[in-house]
Structure 1
């Protein structure tokens, strides 16, 4: 028998070296996700995106779901069912239960779920946690939904998404608004305009009143007062124009572009 070697304890962190120390799965996923979202925002199909990036269309869809910008009835149903099971089951069991409940294969279920590893940006994620492309896509979808069905709920969704975005008044003056939270942690339905120092808030009731005075979504509204004799209507006018709820004349557009 050979001579027995003396045991030498390993130093912390001195395990097997990575074959590719520069490889980072999370960063790679984030790069792929940003690339997919950018192409998706240019209205390319899933197949076209897959061809451009040499990816499988199913992976493209999964990346878009992870980014929080892909929507479909099937995806929503799968994720809702899965999340209900996930409250009491492991990930694997929740996938199996979802597949059984919806009569789908387990592969189909996982294809409609976001990646667990890496970066996950659900719909409820704050804007600072999502890419610019994902944020733009989120606003686009919300505005489109508002134009199709101009309800208070859809308007509030868009208002939240555009907090901090630059608007223009009828006379071309720039402004933004913010929405603050109350003591209970919920948003207060007031828009705080930053146009002037110590300016007062814009009441939600005033915005709804102006919304109800829109005769046709996308129609030209010549001046703010046409939306009603409402306090802060000059700001509402600019907001509604940015949301494509109203259009303005070419003369007003020139003022807003200056």
Structure 2
């Protein structure tokens, strides 16, 4: 009889610290709660609480709530003084202990790993600008919440063959409907983007008359391959992490 698989052991304090570090790093790069929430597949309210815990975020309300709490006021007293709901008061207070639930620990560990893998994939693509690095970025960004230039939300996954290996076909999921896109389309758009590097790409069709280019356009922007006008980035609801000079 096969032995049951052991669950990985997670150190709650270590996971909490790693999550706080990663979320703070993302927020410092983008300055957007919504964008950071997308990076970690968490709600903006949870992200805000994590950032308050790490000291990376504050506003007038959070300062008032935390000053009252430090001054010894109870949650109910803070509610009465500020007019906030109990859930809102708690949302502006930092976490006081690590998360110990096994399922949530596992999810947070995976969130950190996914975030780091995506970061590394983008760095590698920026350095190499070749098809191999592009493929690794596409693999890393599966299930990432993209939006087209018209604001249509979508995610994608890669098909797998019988052996469990990825084949060269993307399954685009948009509002519960799916369609497939060939890897060759992504490569064609990428090659055109490399030719036009340094020039802002005003619309998807600039990359070519390619099937699925409206999906490829926001992907290449998020990967750092193309530049777009600020208003176009806003439509796609992406504020790309700032590139740091080393």
User: Which TM class, normalised by the smaller chain length?
Assistant: 0.5 to 0.7
Provide structure 1 residue ranges, at least 5 long, that are not aligned to the other structure: 1-25, 44-126
- Structure-2 separation of matches of 1:190 and 1:156: 11
Q: Name 1:245's counterpart in structure 2.
A: 225
Where in structure 2 are there 5+ consecutive unaligned residues? 1-7, 26-105, 239-246
Rate the CA distance shift 1:129–1:36 in 2: closer, same or farther, 3 A.
closer
Measure, in 2, the Cα distance between the counterparts of 1:185 and 1:28: 27
Map 1:175-254 to 2 at 5 A: 175-195=154-174, 199-214=178-193, 215-217=195-197, 219-254=199-234
Secondary structure class of the residue paired with 2:188: helix
Q: 1:164 aligns with which of 128, 132, 143?
A: 143
Residues 1-258 of structure 1 mapped to structure 2, 5 A cutoff: 29-36=11-18, 38-39=20-21, 130-195=109-174, 199-214=178-193, 215-217=195-197, 219-257=199-237
CA distance in 2, matches of 1:242, 1:197: 23
The 1-side partners of 2:13 and 2:157 are apart by: 31
Q: Secondary structure at the match of 1:188?
A: strand
Deviating more after overlay: 134-143 vs 229-238: 134-143
The answer to whether the 8 A contact 1:218-1:247 is kept is: yes
Q: Decide whether the 8 Å contact of 1:147 with 1:217 is kept in 2.
A: no
Answer yes or no: is the 8 Å Cα contact 2:146–2:236 preserved in 1.
Answer: no
Looking at structure 2, the residues matched to 33 and 241 of structure 1 have their Cα atoms a distance apart, in angstroms, of 30
- Partner-residue secondary structure (3-state), 1:176: strand
Answer 1 or 2: which has greater helix percent: 2
Higher share of residues assigned strand:
2
Greater CA drift, 138-147 or 208-217 = 208-217
Give 3-state SS (helix, strand or coil) of 2:119's partner: helix
RMSD between superposed Cα atoms in Å:
2.8
What is the Cα deviation at residue 206 of structure 1?
0.6
Larger radius of gyration: 1
Aligned to 2:115, what secondary structure does the other structure show? helix
How many residues align? The count is 150
CA distance in 1, matches of 2:158, 2:127: 25
Deviation at 1:169, TM superposition (A): 0.6
